[in-house]
Structure formats: structure tokens, C-alpha cells
Structure 1
């Protein structure tokens, strides 16, 4: 429960049709196992106490009495379990029969939720036995307890305000307006769906898409428990397709087996997203929804869900390739339009032989193709100075040549020395002035060449550098269009790698130079080289970019607290970094992120390509003089 995580499970017991005593035993055994594994909310299938495929037996008093007695047995057997469980059974009320979910906790029934949408088409004949629970609000005596039966209720945890449970049953999700939509609008963050969905070819894909898309649409956690082994196979087969989703992401899935499917829902994350997205309507239409409280003992939730160490980069190779292709196209389209709108005759790129400028010129090349213009309209300017190595210089020259760009080589050493003489800066003093003087000279050269050629300067700085402020103000910080502005460093690397692989057969030399650039240490090359080698390595100074991109994603995209970001980093990176190392760089991230906002407050235009961008005109509005004290204080004493 700490940090907003609650462990949930979808369970499919092996049942026998109409054998309520046997089914009750299977259910409470599964409940005990779930509790043993730390589950706090468990969802079981539709009508699992009797079996979904009982047919006309549902109308028999003997079966209904057996269901009542079976529920009483379950309540007695699980009264010590501090876990909320939803299970399905038929319930009588006012001479009608309802397909219900019973919500159980510590031997008590918190409530009954009747199914609203009763399917009576194709292989479904529920209308033959069950009435719709729409607008019902009744008191029912069940298993020795008086219980409210209604669809107009949410169940809220007193100890965890973000945990608010809503329930719908199978077909309710497939309807045009699922009950979960209204429940989410009324505050439900976790939807439980008790289902008995038979299996036919192609249905699993549709079911999976339905669950994940609904969880995204209503910004909730969604636990879907499906009937499985033991249901009648007279005409249908049930495979126990259990799913757990969160805001569009599939966290866990099981099919063709019984047992538990377990993951953790981050209800704090869901609450943040609902606060952020102002189109998420508060308050449902169509009648008031009430809230009932329940209590869970506080406990730390052990995380089992996968936390990717590269949140900006898909781990699946096919997905990663698709992402890279899409990012390149989006960024290139943005630049294409800017070149068209301004009537720019050239696109000027400062080419250093490093990753960022390589990506910028690759994007510019795609934009020129979209415009049906020659690559020679790209002016690649390499500007060696005190820290430039032969490796990066040669790679810049080769890259420009392979792409067909117009190459200009302008050594800025003498110009920078003259500037240092003018301002009284010693060449032996390798301070920030020494570094930034070179960066600003390069920007001046690029801007003036753009003026000479009627072009615009394409910026090369990436999202990670902007987050850390790793840019010279009015130096590489400035351009006329920043194509990399919302691309984090970890993704920059994969984009260049994607193009290198894509060009391997078409142009081996281009692929080779891109591969060598990928192997070159990340550096601004503003300090003199040592024995011809790069002396200034960015990640030695500011920290590993894989960590900073991880911190950026969770701190900015999801607004997580520093403690929670640290916990997720420990989960994601395992033994790769110990806690003191993670803390060191996380503190550095927050210090730099806050202190360097002034650079982001005046960024040039650039296209948004992903879920995180720091444009002051778009996703990120922050005062340049905001204090980091609260964020840094939270990390004190965590070593």
C-alpha cells in the first residue's frame, strides 16, 4: 500500500457445474493462497459459486440454496483474511433472479452488485434466467446477512484514499456505455470485472484490447477474471483468460489455466493522471453513486510488476523499431513544415560527430526527402576547437559526405582565442567561461551561415540535456528549430542505431560511421583532449543518462515523489546500481532540474514526439526560481 501500490489478483478456480460445496472449497482455498501471496483485492469469475453454465438449473431452489450455503461457508472460512474479494453467484430478490457479484471482506458481505447488461444473443441465453440490475437498490438477506444490492455504489478504503473499487460483470464491459465509466467518473480507481467469456478464435485479442482500452479511457486499474476449467463444454469452451490492466497498459495475463494472476495497481499514479487531464469528467450522469467504506491493515506492497529501466524505449525489438520509425517521421514532418513556412533555402546543422548532431542531421535528411529537395540543401558545419578529437572530426566529415550534405569546415580556435584576449580570459584557465566561449562561438557561426544562405539553424540538444540544463545558455541551447527537443538521450541512441541497421545493406560506409558514433563517449568536447582522446565525458560529470531519463519520466510524466522514484529505480535497475549511487544521481537530477529551468523558459520551437516534453509553451510550466528544497529534503537520510 506504500507509494500508492495495491496488490491485486484475478483468480480462476477449477469448479464443478452446480456443485456449490465443491466450488466453495475451491474458492476459499484460492482466496487463502491469494492472501498468502500478499493480495489485497481479488476478483473471481462470474457465477463461479454455481458455475456459469448451469442453464435451467438456475431456476431451481436447490441450486440457489446451495449457493447461499456455499457463500456462508466461504465467509466463515475466510473471516480472518484482510482482503477484499469479489465472487459471482445468483441472488433472488422480489421473485426475480440476478447475476451478482458479492464483495467480501473478513467474513462480511460489503455489498452485492447485480449485472446490468444481460446478453441474450448468439450463445448467450442469460435473459432466460436473469433480470437486469439497472437502477436496483434493494436489501437482500443472503448467507445470514442483510446486504444492499445496487449498481450505484463504490467501495472506498479508509487507509488508502486512492483505492476506490467499482464492479461490473462481463457483458457490462462490452456494452456501448459500460457501468465502469460512470463509476470511474464518480471516483472509482479500480474496476473489478467478474466474467464468463467463452473462447472462440480471435476473441482473446478483442477481449484484451477491450480491457486495456477501457482502463485507458477511464484512467483506472482493471482486473478481469474469467471462467475456466470445470464449466460445461457441451457447446462452449472457457479458457480462464485473466487480465490485469492499468491506464492502457497490460500488467499481467493468463490463459488456458486455473489459479492466480497477480500484479500491483498504482492508484496514486491514476489519481495524478486524472488531476492532470482536465477532460476527465468529475461526477457521473444518470443518478448519484454512493460510497461505502472498508478498512485494510496498512502494509508494504511487494512489487512484482515489471518496471522497465528504459521507459522511453520499448524493450521488444519490433516495438522499438516501430517507435524509432515513428519518431523520425514525426520530427521530420515538424521540420518539413517549418522549412516550408519560412521559405528557408537551407537547413544549417552544427555537426560534431556526436550522437545528438548525428540524429539532427538524419532527421533533416528525412525532411528534405519529404520536401523532394536535394540533401545538398543541408549545410553541415563542423567547427573543431580545443577539445575536438580526430575521431569525432573524421566521423562528422564522413557522415556529411555519405548523406550528400554540403560540408563546411570552420576551425574556431583563433576566433575563440581572440575573444578570450578581448575579455581577459586566460587560455590556462579551463573554467566555465573557457567552455561556454567555444559553444557560443559555434552558435554565432551557425546563425551567420544561416543568414548568408537564407536558411535556418537546426538545433541538436535533446530532452535529457534540457532536463539537466546541460547546455550553454545562448550557445548550443539556442537554434531556430530544435528537432531533438523532446527526444531523450536513451532514445537518441536507439534512433541512430535504427538508422545504422536500416542502412547496413544500402550504404555500408554510412552504417559503419553511425556505428562508430554510437561507440563514441558522450562529450561536449570543450576541454582539451588528452593524448588525442576525449577528456570530458558527460556521464562522469552529470551521471548516467539511463538513470536521468528514468528519473525524468517518473518525476515529470507521472509527478511521483522522490522516494517513489527511488523505489522504482531500485526495482528497475536491480543490482546494476546500489542505493547510494541511485541517491547521488537522483539528488543531482533534482538540483539541476530546478536550478536550470531558466534555460527551458526560453527554448526555441521544436516538435513534441513523445509523452514528455519540457517546452514552456506546451507541457511544462514552471517558474525559473522555484525551490527544490522539499524534493531534496525527502531524499535525506535514505542512504
Structure 2
């Protein structure tokens, strides 16, 4: 029986499907843990496959290669260095499990399977995995360690079973995506399981972006007395070695690093930067291009892109038309200069006139309306896509959640693009983040200090500039009103009567609800974007396009 244990927590950034690359990361991390004298190194959930693998994990060839990688890693443990706990898909007979494998002495010594498979929000694990049996602890170098996997600690039964079968401490590998309130939820959840079991708990989370999801890390260790022993950094890869001692009342983790966890606008900004950076890099784009209009949305996206990728990898293009104001031209240029990006101007007068002339006979005897306005937007979209095709940079789209919700966007126009960093940010939050970035230099970003978004962009009334003197509020209610109604409808699924009770006009609420429903077909064709809230469009909120329901109460 040992009385001391040194455990390395590997808070790393895997890539879904890159089994070879993830294995190499694991080998290098184990080497680092060995130099630090660790007895055991722990990796996040499904690390070998990357999380979440979705239907990719159903491919027999993928399952086989993941298993081979685990065996290859296990063979390395014959050197007498640290043992390994690592997540991987694991096939046994006709069942496929979300597993954690214990590797030591050159072999796979034990496996534990995830019991609670989440099937809500962004999660759809019962689609691809089988439910495992309630687990017992694993004997790891003389210590009985319980290994509940992620969702297994959201309910009391798995930890209760581990405690009743002799677990002495809990190591919890996770693939837990970020949203506004997730960190506090995780901490409170861990506290409940510790109170119920009396066991200390190490919560290990991955970091990084995967399609729309972004993982913040923020791993931590709580002792049985609920004291915080370790708090790892968010948004950063790191391997942290923790020291554990067996005392008369049980195992205790020595006090270690306790990093400050960003909150509010800082956390949201860093989440968006990380999601954008990993989407571009993991998909091997050389950089990004975007239309810089002189408005707040494209300015914030440009700042995020520079902070994520560096100014040398961001190309901004102004696409003016006869309705583009001199202020917008000046503001776009000033923003590009402040960020240090390449900036080009491509007027769209000729293509817009060309399309209009081509349609003149067909549109004869009709009134000019949003059709002609959308030709401007679609001309811009075509030009930006041509630039993307020619030079290989991914086109970023710049619509905020208010516009995406209300359908205030043009299909095949300003919705063109491969990724939208601000898709899950309401307009009011866009303004806040722009002002916040001007006043702060976030840790780990690649952009410049100081004012990167000219103040006039933040303070002037928003406008699509598709007709003379146009303002967003000509078509939409003020954003502070619109955003509150939308948040009630989207995030909280509130009945109309309850939204009216908050002080909103009933007719306006019905109008906004209708706009939300009838624009579903646009959202189905929209680019993916960083998930930041508990109800993003795409993975969380799944509504039918054909929908005859309206809340008429």
C-alpha cells in the first residue's frame, strides 16, 4: 500500500479524428510527466479519438485504429514510467463504449465504460455508444481510484457505486464544452458528489475548439473538505502535477497552483478567439478574409480574427456602393489600420448595375424593394467568395445572433462564409465586447494593445446601408428590446404572456416570434459559429423549418 501518489493532469487540445496526432500528444505529455516524477498521467474524455467524434466513431476502421493507438501507448508503459488513464472508443463484442483505459506495465490493465450517456443539447451519445455497467474502482499502484466519466458525475448513482465499492479518490476525465455559466455549474456539481461520497475529486477537462463547440479547460481538484487544492488555467494547454498524501481520514491533494478564472466579457471574448483559432487551424486554412463594412459586427469579427490568427493572416475588404457613407469608408480604413491587416477596396457598382440590367425586363412594372437591396449584398458575397477561392483563405461571415434570429440577413449574400465567430452573440453583447476589447489586452491573443475598433463604430447607429439613410431600427425594434425578447424566446422558451409581463408590447412579441420562426430556413443554411450560450442555433436549438405553430395567447 502506498501513502503518496503524484498525478499529472493533462489539460490538452486534441483534434477529432487525428488519432496519430493525439497519440503523439499523449506520448509527449507522458514524457513530460515522467520528468516531473509522476506516478500516473490522466487525459480527458475520448482523448485518442477527440471529442465529440459523432458518427465518425461508428466506422470500423476508426475503432480499430483508436484501439491500436491505445495498445501502442500501453506498450510504452513497460519502461517503468508513469501509468496512464486515457479515453478512447472501445469495442467489446457487439458493443461500442466511451471508455477510459488504464495502461501500465506494457499492457491495458483495466477499462471502465461511461454509464450515463447524455442525450440533450449538443450531446447525442446514445446514438453512437452503448451504456456501460456501474463501475468499481481501479487499483492503480496500490490506490483504489474511481474513474467516473464526465456525465457520470451529473447523477449520484455512479459515484455512490464507486464509494460503496471502496474508491479512495475520484479522477473525472471530461469533454465539457463552455457556455456562459458552465464553470460554476461544474464546480457546484463536484461539490455535491464530494458531499455525498466523502471523496476528494480531480476534474480534468480538455481545451480547444471543435466545429461549433469550444472547451475551456479550467480543470480543478477539490479535497474532501471542499477546499480548492488546484485550479488550472482556462483556454490554455498545460500539464500540472498534483501531489497526494494518504492521511488518517483519507487522501488529500497538496495545495498547488490556483489560477484566476476569467468571467463575463473576458471569458466570452477568449472563448470566441479560441473557437475561431482552432476552426481555422485544425481545418488547415492559411488565413481568413472578411468584408469590413465600417459597422460594429465586421469590426469585432476583424478584431477577433487578428487576436486569434495574427494580423498577417487576416485580409479585410471594403465593398462600397452608392449608399455607403463616407463615415463607413473612413471607419473601415481606420479599423484596418488599427489592427494592422491587409485592406483592399473593391467597389460593387458595376456588378450591381450588371445584375439589375440583366433583370430589368423580367422586373418591368414592379416596384423596387428588398430584392434590389439583396442584389447589393449578394454581389458582395460573390466577390468575397471569389477572393476566398482564389487565395484559399476562409471567408468569415459577420451576422450577430439578433440578426440571425430575426432573419435580418441575406442568403448567399452577407450570410456567405465558412465560419461565424459572433453567431451566438446578441447585438447588445457585440457592442459590449467591442468596448471591452478596446479597454483590455486579453491574455494569449495576437493582436495589438489599445483601441482596435474606432469609437465612432461603436457609437453610431447600426445600418446595413442598402438604401439612403437606412437604419437597422427602420426594420427592427431597438436592440435592447429585441435582444431581451429573443433571449426569452430562444434561451428560455418563455410563453408570450410571460414576455409581455416583462413590459413588452404584445404585438411586438408576436412579430418577433414570427420573424424567429419564419427565418429557420435561413439558419439551416448558415455557417457554423462558436457556441457560447446554452441555446445556440444548430446544435442546441433544433426547430422544424415547416412550422405552423404560433403562441397566440
Q: TM-score, normalised by structure 2?
A: 0.50
**In the aligned structure 1, how far is the partner of 2:517 from the partner of 2:156?**
38
- Provide, for residues 151-203 of structure 1, a one-character-per-residue CA deviation record: whole Å limited to 9, x for no partner: xxxxxxxxxxxxxxxxxxxxxxxxxxxxx989xxxxxxxxxxxxxxxxxxxxx
1:37-56 equivalences under 5 Å are: none
Q: How far apart, CA to CA, are the structure 1 residues paired with 2:295 and 2:380?
A: 15
Aligned to 1:42: none
> How far did 1:474 drift?
1.5
Q: Deviations over 1:511-534 (max 9, x none)?
A: 285211011111111013xxxxxx
The answer to whether the 8 Å contact 2:488/2:499 transfers is: yes
Q: Which residue among 623, 628, 631 is the counterpart of 2:544?
A: 623
Q: 1:402 aligns with which of 338, 362, 377?
A: 338
The alignment status of 1:446 with 2:384, answered yes or no, reads: yes
Structure showing greater radius of gyration is 1
Do the aligned residues in 2 keep the contact of 1:594 with 1:627 (CA within 8 Å)?
no
Q: Deviations over 1:29-52 (max 9, x none)?
A: xxxxxxxxxxxxxxxxxxxxxxxx
For residues 364-383 of structure 1, the aligned pairs below 5 Å read: 364-369=305-310, 375-383=311-319
Summarize the Cα distance change of 1:216–1:353 in structure 2 as closer, same or farther, 3 Å threshold: farther
Change (3 A) 1:363 1:512: closer
- Matches of residues 10-89 of structure 1 in structure 2 within 5 Å? none
Name the residue aligned to 1:525. 465
Separation in 1, partners of 2:336, 2:309: 14
**1:602 alignment counterpart:** 525
Match of 1:418 among 336, 354, 365: 354
Report the CA distance shift for 1:611/1:434 in structure 2 as closer, same or farther (over 3 A).
same
1:14 alignment partner in structure 2: none
Shift of 1:386: 2.5
Q: Matched residue of 2:396: which SS?
A: strand
Equivalent residue of 1:600, what SS?
helix
SS of corresponding position for 1:408: strand
Number of the residue aligned with 1:325: 266
Distance, in Å, in 1 between the alignment partners of 2:391 and 2:192 is 49
Quote the residue 1:584 is aligned against.
Answer: 507
Contact 1:346–1:450 at 8 Å: present in 2 too? no
For residues 315-347 of structure 1, give each alpha carbon's deviation from its aligned partner in whole angstroms, at most 9, with x where no partner exists. Answer: xxxx99942221221111122112212322221
Asked whether the 8 Å contact 1:353–1:517 carries over to 2, the reply is yes
Using the TM superposition, give the Cα deviation of residue 585 of structure 1 relative to its aligned residue in structure 2, in angstroms.
Answer: 2.2
Number of aligned residue pairs: give it: 303
Q: 2:472 aligns with which of 523, 538, 549?
A: 538
- Deviation for aligned residue 1:392: 1.1
Cα pair 2:385 2:416 within 8 Å, conserved: no
Q: CA offset at residue 508 of structure 1?
A: 11
Matched, 1:566 2:500: yes
- RMSD value, Cα: 3.4
Paired with 1:510 and 1:430, the residues of 2 have a C-alpha distance of 44
CA distance in structure 1 between the partners assigned to 2:510 and 2:375 by the alignment: 29
Shift of 1:613: 1.0
**Residues 427 and 491 of structure 1: CA distance in aligned 2, closer, same or farther (over 3 Å):** farther
User: Does structure 1 conserve the Cα–Cα contact (< 8 Å) formed by 2:520 and 2:543?
Assistant: yes
1:79 aligns with none
Measure, in 1, the Cα distance between the counterparts of 2:320 and 2:309: 26
Work out the CA distance in 2 between the residues paired with 1:217 and 1:613: 28
SS at match of 1:481: coil
Deviation by residue 1:422-468 (Cα, 9 ceiling, x = unmatched): 11158995411111001011111111111121110011011111110
Q: Which residue of 1 aligns with 2:296?
A: 355
Q: Which digits, 9 at most, give the CA deviation of each residue in 1:97-153, with x for residues without a partner?
A: xxxxxxxxxxxxxxxxxxxxxxxxxxxxxxxxxxxxxxxxxxxxxxxxxxxxxxxxx
- The 8 Å contact of residues 450 and 457 in structure 1, kept in 2 or not, is answered as yes
Gap change, CA 1:414 and 1:452, over 3 Å in 2: same
Native 8 Å contact 2:292 2:318 kept in 1 = yes
Q: CA deviation at 1:545?
A: 1.4
The range that moved more, 508-517 or 553-562, is 508-517
Q: For each residue in 1:580-607, what CA deviation from the matched residue of structure 2 results, as whole angstroms up to 9, or x when unmatched?
A: xx22321221110111111011221211
User: Equivalent residue of 1:401, what SS?
Assistant: helix
Contact 1:497 1:514 in 2 (8 A): no
**Contact preservation (8 Å) 1:354, 1:522:** yes
8 A contact 2:496–2:506 mirrored in 1 = no
Residue 625 of structure 1: CA displacement?
1.5
Task: Give the conservation status (yes or no) of the 8 Å contact 1:420–1:427.
Answer: no
How far apart are the structure 2 equivalents of 1:551 and 1:359?
Answer: 24
* Alpha-carbon separation, structure 2, partners of 1:541 and 1:512: 29
3-state SS, counterpart of residue 344 of structure 2: strand
* Secondary structure class of the residue paired with 1:459: coil
Match of 1:337 among 278, 284, 289: 278
In 1, Cα distance between equivalents of 2:410 and 2:448: 35
Q: Is the 8 A contact 2:334 2:454 kept in 1?
A: no
Q: Please list, as runs of the form range in 1=range in 2, the aligned pairs for 1:201-350 lying within 5 A after superposition.
A: 213=188, 322-350=263-291
Structure 1 residues 362 and 600: alpha-carbon distance in aligned structure 2, compared to 1, 3 A threshold: same
Q: Which residue of 2 aligns with 1:458?
A: 396
Which 5+ residue runs of structure 2 have no aligned equivalent? 1-154, 158-183, 194-259
